[in-house]
Amino acid sequence: MDNPPLAVEMRGIVKRFPGVLANDQVDLRVAPGEVHALLGENGAGKSTLMNILAGLYRPDAGEIRLNGQRVEFRSPKDAIAAGIGMVHQHFMLVESQTVAENVILGLDEPRFVLDMGKVADQIATMAEGYGMAVDPHARIWQLSVGEQQRVEILKALYIGANILVLDEPTAVLTPQEAEQLYATVARLAGEGKSIIFISHKLSEVSSAAHKVTVLRGGRVVGT
């Protein structure tokens, strides 16, 4: 589950939906250890681009390279196996299950081969190390939205993500929770993980990100 640090390169990405050119020849490069903000107004094509990186959509044109090697993702499973984890705007957690159960949903091992006590301990240690305190035994419906976001991030990290995509993560957070998230992101980057952070607020990305790519109408207007 340990993936090496990854340099991501998306080149010439094109994605059309009926009547919309959502991504128009988009180039994006993210180095290991970089916090890269993807900035743009609603409808600019940010989520589409990241859904392509996460294997949810196939691009109509363009390519993705990881450490220089061309990759093709047929499904999110392929992207996860390559070390890419995405936390979507709308969480994909099972409300009635515990934090630990949700974290292992992404693994290939069936539940009965795992020692759930050990998994819970690993999650607690990981959560503490990254400043994302959460009780592995709590059920999702008992958690605040900010805590649920932590579970999504922990899940991606537990599966071995070395590129973490966060789609408008601060939209659901209080200012204080957002500060905690920035600290977590900085710590992850310090370990060589890359973070792609979607936002539509320049003020927020200018403090948290090393680099910013701005999308408008599906095109990159600057990095």
Q: Which residues of this chain interact with ligand ADP, rule CB under 6 A? A: 17, 20, 22, 40, 42-48
Residue 211 CB, nearest distance to ligand ADP (Å)? Answer: 18
- The residues with which 220 forms a beta bridge, in sequence order, are 215
Q: What is the C-alpha separation between 64 and 87, in angstroms, rounded?
A: 19
Among ligand ADP, Mg ion, none, partner that 184 touches (CB below 5 to 8 angstroms by kind)? none
Among Mg ion, ligand ADP, none, partner that 202 touches (CB below 5 to 8 angstroms by kind)? none
Beta-strand pair 20-30/8-17: antiparallel
* Binding to Mg ion, residues 192-211 (CB under 5 A): none
Among ligand ADP, Mg ion, none, partner that 170 touches (CB below 5 to 8 angstroms by kind)? none
- The residues with which 38 forms a beta bridge, in sequence order, are 198, 213
Q: Which of 37, 40, 44, 47 binds Mg ion (CB under 5 A)?
A: 47
Among ligand ADP, Mg ion, none, partner that 157 touches (CB below 5 to 8 angstroms by kind)? none
Residue 60 CB, nearest distance to ligand ADP (Å)? Answer: 13
Residue 177: which residues within 8 A CB-CB, separation 6 or more? Answer: 146
Residue 190: which residues within 8 A CB-CB, separation 6 or more? Answer: 33
Measured from the CB atom, the residue of 20 and 133 that comes closer to ligand ADP is 20
Are 51 and 198 within 8 A, CB to CB?
Answer: no
Residue 40 CB, nearest distance to ligand ADP (Å)? Answer: 5
Written as one letter, the residue type at 141 is: W
Are 120 and 100 within 8 A, CB to CB?
Answer: yes
Measured from the CB atom, the residue of 47 and 184 that comes closer to Mg ion is 47
Measured from the CB atom, the residue of 103 and 163 that comes closer to Mg ion is 163
- Where helices occur in 58-173 by DSSP H, the ranges are 76-81, 99-104, 116-129, 145-159
Q: Which stretch binds Mg ion (CB under 5 A): 25-33, 40-48, 150-158, 204-212?
A: 40-48
Q: Which residues bind Mg ion (CB under 5 A)?
A: 47
